[in-house]
Structure 1
Amino acid sequence: MTDKLRVLVSSEADDRVGREMLAATAGVEVVPYDPTSSELTPEQARADVLIPPYRGSHRPIGLLRQLSALRLVQLLTAGTDEWAPHVPAGIPVSNAGDAHAGPVSEWILSAILTQLRQWPSLVRFQDEHVWAHRKFNADTLADSRVLIVGAGNIGKATAAKLAPFGAHVTLVGRTARDGVHATSELADLLPGHRVVVVVVVVTPLTEATKGLVDRDFLARMDSGALLVNAGRGQVVDTNALLVELQHGRLTAALDVTDPEPLPADHPLWEQPGVIISPHSARTVPGTNALCYSVATARITAFALSHLSPLSPDTL
């Protein structure tokens, strides 16, 4: 056992804030590395903790096999599905979901309001220099029922932001608990909700969540309802959603898609009832600093535990 926890931190410019935070942390030794490299130096290979870079976090996956002393993988993302299948058994994988709750929930709120208040149509009218009075039908969040699939940090932050608008929120998680319904109840819960938000991001993408929003799921949504996906693209069956959009029965706001990036010739681009952002809901000034603040706090707790593995409750 060493006196300090050796932590691999990307040497790229986006990760400078992380190197500085961790360098000022007692019990931690920062070891910079190049996430584009295929080989680690002997000093780097002895690291206890690996932090993938803020951008392109999947790039160092191939380095895992060289880390013989690895005790923890600390991600800066909200989801863990890219890394979980590759990390050796018994090594904890911690995410930075707390850091993303604010920016992502803000994106969700903005997407809902953009669609309900018909801003895409208004911008098109503006492009044509048309005074569109009484030419569009706006809706309101007041008294609307909103179903949020995913009751983690992002789901709860979204619910909190919706409350002042007078929306009535139903939270759904993997298991039922106080104030949260189980996913097994979704079929019965979907009807009657004006907006359905998907924020299933923290747990790895599994057979249970892949294609969760399928043809039957969408068919149970009320006509005119809005689907918002800020979770994982593969949670939604793109072909099934396309059918609903083409018929004009549903609308959508998507920050993630399947496939991703969305090809330029994909028919999803052409649907008038959808708005699409390029997986950028979390991207606001200072997001990387927020992510490293969460990472630093968890690594500090790890160091204080004398390099003992983190319990699942800590992650």
Structure 2
Amino acid sequence: MIQSTIYKRFLSTQAETYRSQLDSFLRYHKTEKSLKPLIYRPKNASKLLTMDMKDPKTHELLKPLPAISTLSKSVLVSYVDCMEFGDRAVLLKWFHEWVSVTPRKKLLWKYLDSSLISKLMYSSFFKIGGYTQLINMLYNNRVKFITAKNSAVFDIEGYFNTWMMCNLHRNQLMKFEDMELLRKKLMNAWRKVAHIERRTGLHLLLMDAWEKQMGYNPKDILKNVPEFKLKLPSLEKVSEEPITEVSMEKFVKDNERNYVLSRTILDFNPVEKDNMVLNKFIKEYQTYSAEVNGTTKDIYDEYTKSMGKIWEPKEEEKETRNNDESNNEQQEGETGEEKVDNSNA
């Protein structure tokens, strides 16, 4: 019990550090251009303090701050990893603040790339909570992402594959029986795709798993589903140099999503248990993960255990979630399909 409390305090301290960096980055880019030299240039610190200036929005006294014009993607990943079940309000408030910024602040919007959006999606689904609200905010701000020249957020590899994975699990956990509503959800999710790239081919296996669960293959009702051979990363292929701890750590971090997607496919479509490409990748990831983390604990197994706390099949909640998402999808559907970017197809 004492050890658990200490660990939670450690996570809290770490989370505060990452959140501080995210907030500083957000604050820097939200600051009016005319005020940046005063606030962020050390040589102007004394001048700013004597001016007694206030922030035009918060009305708080302006003070000198260190400039954070760039930020590693790993900061947000680490921040999300520090969150636990029950932190949904924190996550949703943070995301709301970020997407409330004008799309003219392109650097802020482009910080949220496909990999980070995917991380937010499956972390909120499996571990933190707030998945439905996060998806609604993502959909409601889609036009802003596109205006900020970041339509690639709505891709197949990150956004759509993650949506498919989460809904395969949710359909089973919540015992959703409204097949027409689920079909509409699927079509709506596909309409949001604005960027098609040829990378892993996992979307085809997820669609096969959907057919196993729902009785129909999404390829039969969705338009322009790209077909290509399954291809998953392998550390043995990307480097002729000896495999090091650093390269293993990078492989594990970069492929967490591909791993949970692959395990989901095996869970929902057992016929893939003989898929050599899929099994080779899973085994390689598990081997490197155990080596890097010093434990045999499996991230997918941990996720599937924790999601039970979030998706308890209570009838009143099930009805509310169905209605909320159905209303959102009807509103989104009124705008019609966006032009799909096939430049990388």
* TM-score > 0.5, shorter chain as reference: no
Q: Which has the higher helix share?
A: 2
Q: Which has the higher strand share?
A: 1
TM-score, with length taken from structure 1: 0.30
TM-score, with length taken from structure 2: 0.28
